[in-house]
Amino acid sequence: MRMYDIILKKRDGHKLGHEEIAFFITEYVAGHIPDYQASAFIMAAFICGLDTEETACLTNAMANSGDVADLSSLGTVADKHSTGGVADTTTLLVAPLVASCGLKVAKMSGRGLGHTGGTLDKLESIPGMTVSLEMDAFIAQIKRVGAAITGQTMRLCPADKMLYSLRDLTATVDSIPLIASSIMSKKIASGAGIIMLDVKTGNGAFMETLEDSKALARTMVDIGNNSGKKTAAIISDMSQPLGCAVGNALEVIEAIEILQGETPGGDLLAVALKLSALMLQMSGIAQNETAAFYMLDEALCTKRALDKLGEIIAAQGGDSRVIRDTSLMPRAQYTGNMTATTSGILSAVDCRGLGLAVQELGAGRAKKEDSIDLSVGFIMKKRIGDRIEKDDILFEIYANDKNKLISVKQKLIGCLKIADSAKKPVLICDSIL
């Protein structure tokens, strides 16, 4: 079998067999296929597409390209994945919520890139917190605490790391089969028996149209279920930041305040509760949605979920006092407000633009190796559909560079549209079970 023939076959629009796809992944990871041929393959797949069977074969080959976590000793274990967005801090709510209701959570997360934030970066804003756990420690913590959140190990799904770096450089990222195989190969290799997906849609998401978001969600759910994992997805709105806080430490503080009961939670809590409720139903802990929401409400009201977050933080070396005293979190040196220059209704938000603005403050990275400032960001004070009066505060900005604070103010102004009327976006657009 030759890689040249596989590339030619896909280039000409023909379906690849399981053996051909497995050969490509195995030989590429082993270093026997050069990057230029791998790049040619993914470009052919991008242009000609992969059908359901080919996508499943690619996913499983990638999942088995390295270690596969064995979590069988833990019983029923769940994982949750978001396709990325702005101010999406649901993991910091979902993990302690469902763990405090008796469902174990094994969460392997990533770092932020471009306009999207990363769970690992947010967690590292907690003093002392480590997000790099070896597999034995990862499993031991889940047994002891009920949940653990860590970065992906270098031995897990190496094919995805290698292919993603090529896709990022060859304009082949925006392909539903390639996105689905990338996400689901990591989820399958991570070992959890339940996979809950949150697929974002809107101008702040990678999939901007509802049609594309549904197609990605359906593809991933089918892959998961066909791989023996209980898999479900919701499609949630990302036409504005999910939470009010944008920036690593600020987002952690918002999540803590929601679990404390100090803030209502809004859209962020609503999506977290929906995800958590589905996970509890899929595990059999809750028999229906009503029972699941009752359990979650009790976990919030009794502060069991807050205490569980403290346990997770402490188990991973972090200062768990932050769940009672958020002043222990990193704070930026300078603050400033951006106020409205006109009155009206907030009708639209350039969510991607807000993500790029917080990146300019230093909270995000353009390349994976970039360092970031964990303390900077901003808090958005209005939501789409809210009435705005002239001089109302629209953003509280936190910066460690006065010049950046001033320049970001100008960018934020251009991210909001104020009109005479507005239609509030639908928060949860669909569910795929």
The answer to whether the beta carbons of residues 180 and 216 sit under 8 Å apart is: yes
Residue in the structure block whose two tokens are 């009066």: 389
> Looking at 167, 200, 230, 308, which residue is catalytic?
167
- CA-based R_g, the chain, Å: 22
In sequence order, the 6+-apart residues with CB closer than 8 A to the CB of 287 are 281
Is 14 in the active site?
A: no
Distance CA 84, CA 98 (A): 21
Nearest to 148 by CA among 121, 130, 161: 130
Give the C-alpha distances (Å, rounded to integers) separating 1 from 7, 19, 22, 326, 376. 12, 9, 11, 59, 53
Assign 3-class secondary structure to the chain: CCHHHHHHHHHCCCCCCHHHHHHHHHHHHCCCCCHHHHHHHHHHHHHHCCCHHHHHHHHHHHHCCCECCCCHHHCCEEEEEECCCCCCCCHHHHHHHHHHCCCEEEEEECCCCCCCCCHHHHHHCCCCCCCCCCHHHHHHHHHHHCEEEEECCCCECHHHHHHHHHHHHCCCCCCHHHHHHHHHHHHHHHCCCEEEEEEEECCCCCCCCHHHHHHHHHHHHHHHHHCCCEEEEEEEECCCCCCCEECHHHHHHHHHHHHHCCCCCHHHHHHHHHHHHHHHHHHCCCCCHHHHHHHHHHHHHCCHHHHHHHHHHHHCCCCHHHHCCHHHCCCCCEEEEEECCCCEEEEEECHHHHHHHHHHHCCCCCCCCCCCCCCCEEEECCCCCCEECCCCEEEEEEECCHHHHHHHHHHHHCCEEEECCCCCCCCEEEEEC
> Looking at 10, 81, 214, 274, which residue is catalytic?
81
Is 182 in the active site?
A: yes
The answer to whether the beta carbons of residues 188 and 63 sit under 8 Å apart is: yes
Is 267 in the active site?
A: no
Distance CA 151, CA 120 (A): 7
- Catalytic residue numbers, as ranges: 81, 160, 167, 182, 186
